[in-house]
């Protein structure tokens, strides 16, 4: 919950605007400002104060405890021009909150932590437990000193400017290690603890066995991702409470599913009790991984609890990102976030140049020229399989005549895939022309490099007969100049010569150009590969210089 506090009429107006944008996330605190700040500080995870920064500093200073528990505090000035991260930039999420408030209110976000200002991810903001001298290692990164990355287990980290060797170290491990003076240790959630228990097993016995097992195996409890057991034990109080105290989810599986998991130590006892020859080992292994600790029993007499530990390496992450038609303000916030999150960027060289300034230091860029789509897709998937956080970029929407299709054809279920939508060329051109896509519409690529012309022609003819607005991608190149005239001739068999046609070149870019013509007057020689051609249907009209397709035909019939 985000507490909102204001003192003036202008501040209250901005406060109410933010509350309207985030009705389920915010709570407005009225009354005397000192009382409102104290109440919000105690009750909310974050605060947005529409007050002077000096006033907020004086009000919150006596309330501060430590950066791990204090709420994040953002200040918005009287004019609503700036959203300043004041307290809890990392731990309290104030930096991200400042950016979100800025986007919601049209204010400039101001982040005050050094790593954010330098474009580096804070080691304490990666969503992983971190130990050691985080401040010293972060300072070394900021100062450009050599910092080595020692990844003992795979995990898709964001970009970090690291080296093979260095006097400072970032260590990624689930092992129980003591950090050195110049070392920060990241704890990825790679460990799954399978637990079996007799009815009524006490929580102390479950906790004791799990903690002793991890310690004796040299494994960190901070890397435990989940406790796992059989469905029949989903309500077993000792296991449920142990998971709660560990702060991890309890995951349960059907006995039949566990019975199919091959384990080194099956037993007749759990088979008779819950229908599977293994609970602890099978529940830990069901999702795959390396069995680090085979089944062991608690020391109690009689022993009521068993456990086993599996290392499940982090899955690589592939984000397929649509960059939009070219204009920076048509690049979505989600796309920007994925570009900053990726440690590896794969893309066409000219698209990489568009967004290179958004990449964080340490991002590895793998770029190639035109005509290497399949190669780029294979490269991106291969990097993700190596446990990297990868962004594969394409123009427009990555799923429309772009990189999502070849990438997903290569990807299997051993990596996580995220699709990030983008503004397509057809949508960008449509907005420039007016509203040509107001009713049913279709996009057809006239490039026959991957699709036989016979198939393309059949699709054009179907769209013509169905009276659907058509947007042509890849309409004409120097070596492919006859397909557009042929497609227009097919449409002309079903539409009047005066049917509006919109021509947009380099939509949303600096050299954008557009014009309206008709099906009969269009000269294909004026069209190239940077152009989108939109042909209206029988209801499309030019109105006040704009191309408009009514949402329904009834309106057009009445207008006639």
- Cα torsion angle, 33, 39, 41, 45, sign: negative
Angstrom distance (rounded) from CA 247 to CA 486: 65
Average pLDDT value for residue range 369-398: 92
The answer to whether the bond into 372 is cis (omega within 30° of 0) is no
Q: Would you say residue 143 lies in a domain?
A: yes
118 is a domain residue: no
| Mean pLDDT (whole number) for 465-483 | 93
Please check whether residue 69 lies inside any domain of the structure: yes
How far apart, in Å, are the Cα atoms of 302 and each of 173, 207, 233, 281, 306?
35, 16, 19, 20, 12
Check pLDDT > 60 for residue 558. Answer: no
Output 479 or 183, whichever has higher pLDDT.
183
How large is the average pLDDT for residues 244-267? 95
439-450 burial, b for 16+ CB within 10 Å, e for fewer? bebbbbbbbeee
At 464, which CATH number?
3.30.950.10
Q: Are residues 291 and 345 in the same domain?
A: no
For residue 121, being part of any structural domain is answered with: no
d(CA 480, CA 399): 24
pLDDT digits (tens, 9 = 90+) for 50-94: 998 899 999 999 998 887 788 999 999 988 899 999 988 877 888
CA distance 222 to 218: 12
Among 423, 439, 462, identify where a domain stops: 423
Same domain, yes or no, for 48 and 63? yes
| 120-129, 146-155, 305-314: least confident range | 120-129
Q: Is the pLDDT of residue 428 over 60?
A: yes
Distances (CA, A) of 196 to 140, 276, 290: 46, 11, 19
Of 243, 278, 311, which one is at a domain's C-terminal end? Answer: 311
CB 6 within 8 A of CB 12: yes
161 and 73 in a common domain: no
Residues 247 and 258 placed together within one structural domain of the fold: yes
pLDDT on residue 559: 47
Give the CATH number of the domain where residue 32 resides.
Answer: 3.40.50.11220
- Of the listed ranges 101-105, 377-381, 495-499, the least confidently predicted one is 101-105
Which domain, by its residues, includes 200?
192-311
Region 188-204: what's the mean pLDDT?
95
Backbone angles phi, psi at 163, to 5 degrees: -130, 175
- CA dist 114 and 42 (Å) reads 27
Statement: residue 560 has pLDDT above 60: no
Task: Give percent of the chain with pLDDT exceeding 90.
Answer: 77
- Virtual torsion, Cα 514, 520, 523, 524, nearest 10 deg: 90
Q: At what angle do helices 237-246 and 203-216 cross, to 10 degrees?
A: 50
pLDDT score at 183: 95
Are residues 88 and 131 located together in one domain of the fold? no
Asked if residues 161 and 346 have their Cβ atoms less than 8 Å apart, the reply is: no
Residues 222, 268 within the same domain: yes
pLDDT tens-place string over residues 487-522? 999 999 999 999 999 999 999 998 999 999 999 999
Model confidence at 290: pLDDT above 80: yes
Whether 419 and 371 map to the same domain: the answer is yes
The average confidence (pLDDT) of the chain is 92
The answer on 485 and 374 residing in a single domain is no
- Of 217, 285, 218, nearest in space to 251 by CA: 285
Per the DSSP assignment, residues forming a β-bridge with 365 are 345
> Angle at CA 83, nearest 5°, toward 78 and 86?
105
DSSP string, 244-304: HHHT--EEEE-HHHHHTS--SS--HHHHHHHS-S-SHHHHHHTT--EEEEEEEE-SSSS--
The verdict on residue 234 lying in a domain is yes
- One domain for residues 433 and 526: yes
* Domain co-membership, 451 together with 392: no
Lowest pLDDT segment from 35-49, 105-119, 303-317: 105-119
Q: How far is CA 335 from CA 338, 349, 398, 409, 556, in A?
A: 5, 18, 11, 22, 39
**Confidence at 554, pLDDT banded by 50, 70, 90:** low
533-555: average pLDDT: 88
Q: At what angle do helices 94-105 and 9-21 cross, to 10 degrees?
A: 100
Same domain, 86 and 47: yes
Residue 248 is predicted with a pLDDT of 95
Query: Helical H runs in 388-437?
Result: 404-410, 425-433
96 band by pLDDT with thresholds 50, 70 and 90: confident
Question: For residue 129, what are its two tokens?
Answer: 């437990």
Q: How many domains does the chain have?
A: 5
pLDDT at 439: 94
Q: Is residue 483 part of a domain?
A: yes
Last residue of a domain, one of 262, 294, 311: 311
Higher local confidence (pLDDT), 125 or 202? 202
Edge-first strand order for the sheet with 389-394 is 364-368, 344-348, 389-394, 317-322, 416-420
Record the pTM: 0.76
525-544: b or e for each residue (b if 16 or more CB lie within 10 Å)?
A: eebeeebbbbbbbebbbbee
Half-sphere exposure of 523 (CA within 13 A, CB side): 3
pLDDT at site 484: 95
Contact 49/75 with Cβ under 8 angstroms?
yes
What was the pLDDT predicted at 271? 92
Exposure string over 249-260, b if 16+ CB within 10 A, otherwise e: ebbbbebeebbe
Does residue 218 come out as left (phi exceeding 0), alpha (psi in the -120 to 50 range) or beta?
A: left
Determine, yes or no, domain membership for 12: yes
Instruction: Identify whether residues 238 and 283 lie together within a single domain.
Output: yes
Is 74 within a domain?
yes
Q: Does 412 score more than 70 pLDDT? A: yes
- Smallest CA-to-CA distance from 432 within 370, 347, 508, 356 is with 508
Residues 6+ apart with CB under 8 A from 178: none
For helices 53-60 and 33-43, angle between their N-to-C axes, nearest 10 degrees: 60
For 556, residues 6+ apart whose C-beta sits below 8 A from its C-beta are 539, 541, 550
């Amino acid at each position: 919950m985000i507490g909102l506090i204001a003192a003036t009429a202008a501040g209250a107006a901005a406060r109410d605007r933010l509350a309207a944008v985030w009705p389920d996330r915010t709570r407005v605190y009225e009354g005397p400002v000192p009382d409102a700040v104290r109440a919000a500080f105690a009750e909310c995870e974050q605060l947005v104060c529409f007050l002077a920064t000096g006033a907020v500093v004086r009000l919150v200073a006596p309330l501060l405890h430590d950066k791990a528990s204090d709420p994040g505090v953002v200040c918005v000035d009287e004019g609503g021009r700036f959203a300043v991260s004041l307290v809890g930039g990392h731990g309290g999420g104030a930096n991200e909150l400042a950016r979100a408030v800025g986007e919601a209110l049209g204010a400039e976000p101001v982040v005050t932590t050094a790593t954010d200002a330098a474009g580096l991810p804070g080691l304490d903001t990666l969503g992983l437990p971190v130990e050691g001298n985080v401040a010293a290692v972060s300072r070394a990164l900021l100062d450009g000193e050599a910092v080595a990355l020692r990844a003992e287990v795979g995990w898709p980290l964001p970009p970090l400017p690291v080296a093979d060797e260095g006097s400072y170290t970032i260590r990624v491990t689930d092992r129980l290690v003591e950090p050195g003076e110049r070392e920060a240790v990241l704890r990825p959630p790679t460990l799954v603890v399978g637990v079996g228990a007799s009815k009524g097993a006490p929580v102390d016995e479950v906790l004791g066995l799990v903690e002793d097992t991890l310690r004796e195996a040299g494994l960190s409890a901070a890397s435990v991702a989940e406790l796992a057991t059989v469905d029949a034990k989903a309500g077993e109080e000792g296991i449920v409470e142990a998971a709660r105290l560990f702060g991890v989810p309890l995951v349960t599986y059907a006995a039949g599913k566990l019975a199919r998991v091959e384990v080194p130590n099956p037993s007749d006892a759990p088979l008779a009790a819950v229908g599977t020859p293994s609970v602890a080992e099978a529940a830990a292994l069901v999702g795959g991984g390396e069995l680090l600790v085979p089944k062991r029993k608690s020391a109690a007499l009689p022993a009521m609890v068993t456990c086993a530990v599996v290392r499940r390496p982090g899955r690589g992450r592939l984000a397929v990102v649509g960059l939009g038609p070219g204009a920076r303000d048509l690049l979505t916030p989600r796309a920007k976030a994925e570009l900053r999150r990726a440690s590896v960027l794969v893309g066409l060289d000219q698209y990489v140049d568009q967004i290179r300034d958004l990449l964080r230091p340490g991002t590895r860029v793998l770029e190639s020229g035109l005509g290497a789509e399949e190669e780029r897709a294979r490269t991106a998937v291969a990097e993700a399989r190596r446990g990297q956080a990868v962004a594969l970029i394409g123009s427009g929407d990555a799923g429309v005549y772009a990189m999502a299709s070849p990438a997903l054809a290569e990807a299997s279920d051993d990596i996580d895939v995220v699709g990030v939508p983008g503004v397509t060329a057809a949508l960008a051109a449509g907005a420039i022309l007016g509203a040509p896509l107001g009713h049913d519409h279709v996009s057809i690529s006239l490039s026959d490099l991957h699709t036989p012309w016979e198939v393309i022609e059949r699709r054009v003819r179907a769209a013509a007969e169905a009276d659907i607005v058509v947007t042509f991608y890849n309409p004409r190149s120097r070596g492919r100049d006859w397909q557009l005239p042929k497609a227009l001739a097919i449409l002309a068999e079903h539409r009047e010569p005066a049917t509006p046609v919109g021509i947009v070149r380099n939509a949303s870019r600096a050299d954008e150009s557009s014009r309206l013509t008709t099906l009969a007057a269009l000269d294909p020689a004026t069209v190239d590969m940077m152009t989108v051609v939109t042909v209206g249907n029988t209801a499309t009209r030019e109105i006040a210089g704009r191309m408009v397709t009514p949402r329904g035909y009834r309106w057009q019939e009445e207008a006639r």
